Amino acid sequence: MAMTDRRRFLIGSGAAVALPLLESLLPRSVRAELPAPSKRFITFYRPNGTNPNVWFPTPGASEREFTLGEIHSPLADFRNELIFLKGIDMDVCSVGPGEQHQQGMGALLTGREILSGPFLGGDGSRAGWANGRSIDQVMAEKLCLGLPLRSLELGVRILGDDVQHRLSYWGPDNPIAPLEDPSRVYARLFPGGERVLRAGPAQISVLDAVMEQYRSVRGRVSRSDARRLDEHFSMVRELEQRLAAQAAVTCESPGAPEELDPLDEDNMQVVARLQLDLLLLAFRCDMTRVATFMLSSSLNHIRYPFLESMYEDHALSHSSMLDDHRQGEWVRRQRWHMEQLAYLLRGLASTSEGEGTLLDHTLVFAGSEIAVGQTHSHRDMPFVLAGRAGGALNPGRYVQLPSRQHNDLLVTLLRAMGFSHERYGHPDFSSGPLETLLS
Amino acid sequence: MKQSFPWIILAVVGCENVVGAPEEIPDWAAASRLAPEAELDPCAEPSVSETAPRLLTRYELDNVLHDLFGTAGSPSNFLPGENSVAGFVTDSDAHRASSVLVESMVDLSRRVADETVMRELSAIAPCATPSDLIDCGRRFVAEQGRRIFRRPLTDEERAVFERLFAQSVPSEGYAGTVSLVLQAMLQSPQFLYRLETAPERESLDGYAIASRMSFVLWRSTPDAQLLSAAADGSLVTSEGIRAELTRMREDPKHRRLYRDFGRQWLGLDRLEGFARDALSDADELRAREALEESILRHVERGFEEGFEAMMTSPELALTGVEDLYDPRAPRAGLITHPALLALLSTPYGSSPVRRGVYVREHLFCEPLPAPPANLSIDPPPPDPNATTRERFAQHTANAGCAACHVRIDPIGFGLEAYDELGRYREWENGARVDTTGEIVGTEDPVLRGEFDGAVELASRLAQSTQVRACVASEFYRFAMGGAAGTEERCSAHRVARALVETGSFDAMIETLITSDAFRLRRSESPPNDGDSIDPSWQEMPQLSVDTAPVLSVDPPEGGRLTGWADDVDAPEVPLRVEVYAAAPMGVGRYVGATQTDLDRPDAPPGRGFELSLTEVQRGEAIFPVVFDPLSGEAVIAEEIEWR
């Protein structure tokens, strides 16, 4: 792959800029000279399921004539970029140990059950990590060849580090931790305050020496230790290939974000905004094409003081569907989640790329790990797709399916992104793509 | 690729406690489902440690870079966070490489190497005769390689880095080349992982022991003197290990052990993001930092003065937040420290549940399950006319909740004299605070029974064998990178015994450092050269899913229960069967247990069982359970009417 073009984005004046203002300083276009703009994939996660009575749109006479409910009103501008889905079941969660939140987190992007492990589930069973690679990582391996970052995993108030706090998996039993501090994300995008051409011949020869040390030491450790090293070094080798194909990227830093406690409930709004700005920045600079964004984690107990909503989130999601007061409070939170999604979509849609916008070339998969907060079911999962994935999707629809498996949705997402998978995840739950979604 | 789970030996089953043989120090944290007590002589063979290669944590990486090069600050701060098991990020199975980490190490190593070369070139790679750069490079590779890899380089490794040096000098210059070689070393597996080479059940070499010692005692890399001790063979003897241990304890770096353990054991990361409605934002920030520092100092002091002081000392040194806490308030050690009490609260009130769960999980070593999904778990809403205790009383009134909460809430009630900031109170919402509590469901006579208030609770915790053994097992898990595996239980047991009998953390640490498990490692033979080195993703098999055991029970007859159980994943291991009465495990009454060891015609050999149940009434329902020996998971049989 020959990518020799030079890119340079001048962002801001170089003065120290505290981030929330960043968005106005971001580049407004992705390099237009690419022959065929590449596709991007973003997972947008929000926790603890929903109340289906208020989540799903009101259907109209045809798929295109639906009416958004109050949770989704912030997305009104993007109505024609969305596909609401009903009828997707995540039955793979009936396999293996764990309780439903854990199972749902494990399965959401992998389509696999979770393994036995160290985490105690509500039913007394011992849950571990998911037993498969997640689709974002499958996509990253191909889509991000030649880019500085393989993928970007971002979180807002994750507050934990076990199975219910992880979505993306490099492989079975090997989750990827999201970064929940914007200043850490910034340091990853701009190590040393800048991002310049990184993969000179010197860096490649360094990685060659690393690989040689690995080969040399591998013969002297036990078989099981060698397996652990093999896992590490398949990642190094992939990194080397990616860097060897890398174009010269110069993307100037807009200045580091203000230091703040990313876990403080009073900072949640600002942190969410900063993380989305950094995600948009990475995409506009073409540092990566795959990202996962987690708006807190499953089973969380957080409050939303900026919405004057002071009940614990998990308890709120459990509250009776007949309790208007509690349900109203929960709807406010979910509407705020959708405001964040709208902000992301707006950022993508306002970035021009080639003949269209970044959103035209992106597929956003928005979802939660369970369907109904009160019952924890995995039936009729609250999933929304956004963007056109380079024309692979035909949005602006409310698609009601006669009970199809989530694994088939994962196959469909892979297809939309240019992959040719027939099945994905657990073989018992995967039969083929949802053709109706693909244009 | 079947996984072994070192954590399966934790005793956890629903809400039922498991205890060891009473005359021994009960193996509280290690009541194994793998080998029933009768067969178990954990000291029949020398213990060998079983952990996988340990990837440095961010804290360790920062320490190592500081100790090697004087790198300041926290260079690892943009690396992805570790995954954890039971709060410990040192777990070798949870903390693994990810593509993000591998990629971030490229940037991290470059920043650290460039900065080091700029500051310290003449110390790291002196070169008096610039005409002979290659010779200087050779010395640099050998000397720094030994420090960075924590052992001398092999000839093959030296050649790798000398070659990189020679080929880079023309284009990068001397300083630039030194930086590149440092970058390569810092990304090498020998640096990032603590790799050990040892044939099965043989002692590790001096360098591996040096690394184990320094990573436990200093949370960092060996210094020059420790590497010399490794080189001259003194670390393969107990005297040599003791001599270095004595020296290393005197080094201020030793405090890192107490602080890192304290931070993970107490979950202090959660103090970040700590919010209390009663405080202004500025006070929140101040309290957060001061409380963390104060409790870490308390842990440090406890490690130095002993278990009793840790658990009961009334002096908590609340520097920086004296205005928030009445100095006359009764305090008794860790359990009354405001940092811990505040962590175990909600933003608007004390939480008897969080406090009780913490005590059961981290001081009794009895992990508790989350509430079942189908249970309504609305916490009682704040009520200006009721005490916290009154509001939580419904928990124990509702049978579904009570099954677990009778073990949890009454412990938390005993700490009700401290509010959501850990401030002392005698009154709440106009009512006098009731601080009576109770500990049920434990076999430890020191713990069991009613108590009044935090000071009495603290003194029981301090005296309890179960609590001491639990804390020792938490320390073992932290230090060794995972809970003790089946082949290291003898050592783990002795480490626990040291704390139980002496109350001295020094004695506990010394027992660990000189134990068999610390010096012996189980490992299989090295891989064949012919093995494929980089299995491509497609070749890597999905991990197999553990199959649940099956349990078949005959109609009861004559006071005896018979049946069979089998697990295809573990044909050699006897299965443990337990019986509960009136309700299933977790709620019901434990009435007996046995293991499969009988032959019967309708089952695989040795899979039958029989037990007599004397404590069950005729007509009462019984619920037999079989445990999966691999996952520890319980399979519960249908209800049976006893006759």
Please list every residue in chain B whose beta carbon sits closer than 8 Å to the beta carbon of residue A236. Answer: 102, 187
Contact B540 A171 (CB under 8 A): yes
Sheet of B560-566, strands arranged across = B550-553, B560-566, B608-612
pLDDT of B250 above 90: yes
pLDDT digit string, tens, across residues A169-179 = 988 888 999 99
Please list every residue in chain A whose beta carbon sits closer than 8 Å to the beta carbon of residue B77. Answer: 184, 187
Question: For position B15, what pLDDT does the model report?
Answer: 43
Q: Which amino acid is at A363?
A: L
Residue whose C-alpha is closest to residue A362's, from A391, A399, A396: A391
> Do the strands A397-405 and A82-89 form a parallel or antiparallel pair, or are they unpaired?
parallel
Best of A114, A161, A290 to disrupt the B interface (most B CBs within 10 Å) is: A161
Residue whose C-alpha is closest to residue A77's, from A272, A346, A397: A346
Q: Nearest CB to A122: which of B83, B373, B527?
A: B373
pLDDT of A14 above 70: no
Q: Nearest CB to A116: which of B84, B184, B631?
A: B631
The DSSP annotation for B578-612 comes to: EEEESS-TTTSEEEEEEE--B--TTSSTT-EEEEE
Q: Give the count of Cβ contacts less than 8 A between chain A and B.
A: 301
Mean pLDDT of all residues in B148-177: 95
Q: How far is CA A375 from CA A51, A315, B373, in A?
A: 10, 12, 7
Q: Which amino acid is at A275?
A: Q
Best of B57, B98, B160, B623 to disrupt the A interface (most A CBs within 10 Å) is: B98
Mean pLDDT of all residues in A324-337: 95
Question: For position B559, what pLDDT does the model report?
Answer: 82
Please list every residue in chain B whose beta carbon sits closer than 8 Å to the beta carbon of residue A156. Answer: none
Please list every residue in chain B whose beta carbon sits closer than 8 Å to the beta carbon of residue A243. Answer: 106
Task: Look at A19-33, A36-50, B257-271 and tell me which has the smallest mean pLDDT.
Answer: A19-33
Q: Nearest CB to B184: which of A115, A161, A210?
A: A210
Residue B78 pLDDT level (bands cut at 50, 70, 90): confident
Q: How far is CA B64 from CA A336, B60, B114, B190, in A?
A: 43, 6, 17, 13
The residue in chain B having the minimum alpha-carbon distance to the alpha carbon of residue A303 is: B347
Q: How far is CA B284 from CA A222, A261, B191, B214, B271, in A?
A: 50, 11, 39, 36, 10
Is residue B55 helix, strand or coil? strand
pLDDT digit string, tens, across residues A138-171 = 999 889 887 888 999 999 999 888 899 999 998 8
Question: For position B153, what pLDDT does the model report?
Answer: 95
Share of chain A above pLDDT 90, in %: 56
Please list every residue in chain B whose beta carbon sits closer than 8 Å to the beta carbon of residue A239. Answer: 99, 102-103, 106
Specify the higher pLDDT residue, B607 or B85: B607
Question: For position B12, what pLDDT does the model report?
Answer: 32
- Dihedral of CA B499/B500/B501/B503: which sign? positive
Q: Which amino acid is at B7?
A: W
Question: For position B26, what pLDDT does the model report?
Answer: 43
Specify the higher pLDDT residue, A83 or A8: A83
Phi, psi of B141 (to 5 degrees): -60, -45
Contact B275 A213 (CB under 8 A): no
pLDDT of A45 above 90: yes
pLDDT digit string, tens, across residues B409-423 = 999 999 999 999 999
Question: For position B375, what pLDDT does the model report?
Answer: 57
CB A135 within 8 A of CB A143: no
Please list every residue in chain B whose beta carbon sits closer than 8 Å to the beta carbon of residue A141. Answer: 537
pLDDT of B459 above 50: yes
Best of B9, B90, B102, B180 to disrupt the A interface (most A CBs within 10 Å) is: B102
Please list every residue in chain B whose beta carbon sits closer than 8 Å to the beta carbon of residue A224. Answer: 52, 523-524
Cα A294 to its chain centre, rounded Å, is: 7
> Do the strands A249-251 and A7-9 form a parallel or antiparallel pair, or are they unpaired?
parallel
Contact A126 B631 (CB under 8 A): yes
From CA A331, how far away is CA A337, in angstroms rounded?
Answer: 10
Task: Look at B395-399, B538-542, B595-599 and tell me which has the smallest mean pLDDT.
Answer: B538-542
From CA A191, how far away is CA B52, in angstroms rounded?
Answer: 31
Please list every residue in chain A whose beta carbon sits closer than 8 Å to the beta carbon of residue B481. Answer: none
Q: Nearest CB to B545: which of A115, A188, A192?
A: A115
Q: Nearest CB to B189: which of A151, A213, A320?
A: A213
B72-94 b/e (C-beta count within 10 Å ≥ 16 → b): eeebbebbbbbbbbbbbbbbbbb
pLDDT digit string, tens, across residues B37-68 = 334 456 777 788 877 889 999 999 999 999 99
pLDDT digit string, tens, across residues B376-392 = 555 666 677 788 888 88
Contact B99 A150 (CB under 8 A): yes
Question: For position B3, what pLDDT does the model report?
Answer: 32
Please list every residue in chain B whose beta carbon sits closer than 8 Å to the beta carbon of residue A264. Answer: 272-273, 275, 284
Mean pLDDT of all residues in B5-25: 33
Please list every residue in chain B whose beta carbon sits closer than 8 Å to the beta carbon of residue A154. Answer: none
Mean pLDDT of all residues in A94-118: 90
**Average of per-residue pLDDT values in chain A:** 86
Contact A218 B275 (CB under 8 A): no
Q: Which amino acid is at B64?
A: V
Contact A228 B193 (CB under 8 A): yes
Most confident of B252-261, B357-366, B553-562: B252-261
CB B485 within 8 A of CB B93: no
Question: Nearest-CA distance from B152 to chain A in Å?
Answer: 13
Phi, psi of A10 (to 5 degrees): -95, 120
Please list every residue in chain B whose beta carbon sits closer than 8 Å to the beta carbon of residue A301. Answer: 346
pLDDT of B529 above 50: no
Q: ipTM of this predicted complex?
A: 0.74
Specify the higher pLDDT residue, B165 or B13: B165
Please list every residue in chain A whose beta carbon sits closer than 8 Å to the beta carbon of residue B84. Answer: 161-162
The DSSP annotation for B144-204 comes to: HHHHHHTSPPPHHHHHHHHHHHHHHHHHHHHHHHHHHHHHHHHHSHHHHEE-----TTEEP
Contact B106 A239 (CB under 8 A): yes
| Continuous segment of H or E residues that includes residue A49 | none
Contact A206 B99 (CB under 8 A): no
CB B592 within 8 A of CB B643: no
Q: Nearest CB to A232: which of B12, B97, B156?
A: B97
Question: For position B587, what pLDDT does the model report?
Answer: 62
CB B336 within 8 A of CB B458: yes
pLDDT of B589 above 80: no
> Please, what is the Cα angle at A8 between A3 and A14, to 5 degrees?
155
Give the count of alpha carbons within 13 A of B572, CB side only: 1
CB A417 within 8 A of CB A39: yes
Q: How far is CA B107 from CA A5, A199, A406, B78, B270, in A?
A: 23, 11, 37, 10, 28
Phi, psi of B354 (to 5 degrees): -60, -40
pLDDT of A222 above 90: no
Most confident of A299-308, B535-544, B555-564: A299-308
Tokens of residue A358, six digits: 């970044």
Mean pLDDT of all residues in A327-346: 96
Strand locations in B414-503, DSSP E? 427-428, 431-432, 436-439, 449-452
Task: Look at A8-22, A225-239, B69-83 and tell me which has the smallest mean pLDDT.
Answer: A8-22
Contact B82 A229 (CB under 8 A): no
Please list every residue in chain A whose beta carbon sits closer than 8 Å to the beta carbon of residue B13. Answer: 124
Question: For position B641, what pLDDT does the model report?
Answer: 86
The DSSP annotation for B207-255 comes to: HHHHHHHHHHHTSS---HHHHHHHHTTGGGSHHHHHHHHHHHHHSGGGH
Question: How would you write B191-214 as a 3-class SS string?
Answer: HHEECCCCCCCEECCHHHHHHHHH
For residue A353, list its beta bridge partners. A356
pLDDT digit string, tens, across residues B336-366 = 999 999 999 888 889 998 899 999 988 998 8
Residue B200 pLDDT level (bands cut at 50, 70, 90): low
From CA B454, how far away is CA B282, in angstroms rounded?
Answer: 30
Specify the higher pLDDT residue, B17 or A422: A422
pLDDT of A284 above 90: no
Q: Nearest CB to A184: which of B53, B77, B346?
A: B77
Mean pLDDT of all residues in A44-71: 95
Task: Look at A66-70, A259-263, A402-406 and tell me which has the smallest mean pLDDT.
Answer: A259-263
From CA A197, how far away is CA B182, in angstroms rounded?
Answer: 20
Q: Nearest CB to B80: which of A124, A173, A176?
A: A176
pLDDT digit string, tens, across residues B225-244 = 999 999 999 998 889 999 99
Q: Nearest CB to A179: which of B80, B110, B379?
A: B80
Question: Nearest-CA distance from B167 to chain A in Å?
Answer: 9
Question: Nearest-CA distance from B240 to chain A in Å?
Answer: 26
CB B424 within 8 A of CB B326: yes
From CA B112, how far away is CA B51, in angstroms rounded?
Answer: 29
Please list every residue in chain A whose beta carbon sits closer than 8 Å to the beta carbon of residue B197. Answer: 220-221
Contact A151 B13 (CB under 8 A): no
Please list every residue in chain B whose beta carbon sits closer than 8 Å to the beta carbon of residue A207. Answer: 106, 184, 187
CB B266 within 8 A of CB B300: no
Specify the higher pLDDT residue, B10 or B151: B151
Question: Nearest-CA distance from A342 to chain B in Å?
Answer: 26
Phi, psi of B282 (to 5 degrees): -65, -40
Task: Look at A19-28, A200-209, B545-554 and tell me which has the smallest mean pLDDT.
Answer: A19-28
CB B54 within 8 A of CB B481: yes
Question: For position B594, what pLDDT does the model report?
Answer: 83
Question: For position B252, what pLDDT does the model report?
Answer: 96
| Continuous segment of H or E residues that includes residue A346 | helix A324-349
Question: For position B568, what pLDDT does the model report?
Answer: 77
Question: For position A194, what pLDDT does the model report?
Answer: 64
Contact A226 B526 (CB under 8 A): yes
Contact A209 B160 (CB under 8 A): yes
Q: Nearest CB to A124: which of B104, B546, B586?
A: B586
What's chain A's length in residues? 439
Question: For position B523, what pLDDT does the model report?
Answer: 61
Contact B535 A234 (CB under 8 A): yes
**Average of per-residue pLDDT values in chain B:** 83
Best of A158, A214, A234 to disrupt the B interface (most B CBs within 10 Å) is: A234
Contact A131 B527 (CB under 8 A): no
Contact A172 B543 (CB under 8 A): yes
From CA B643, how far away is CA B641, in angstroms rounded?
Answer: 7
Q: Nearest CB to A188: which of B78, B193, B524?
A: B78
pLDDT of B565 above 70: yes
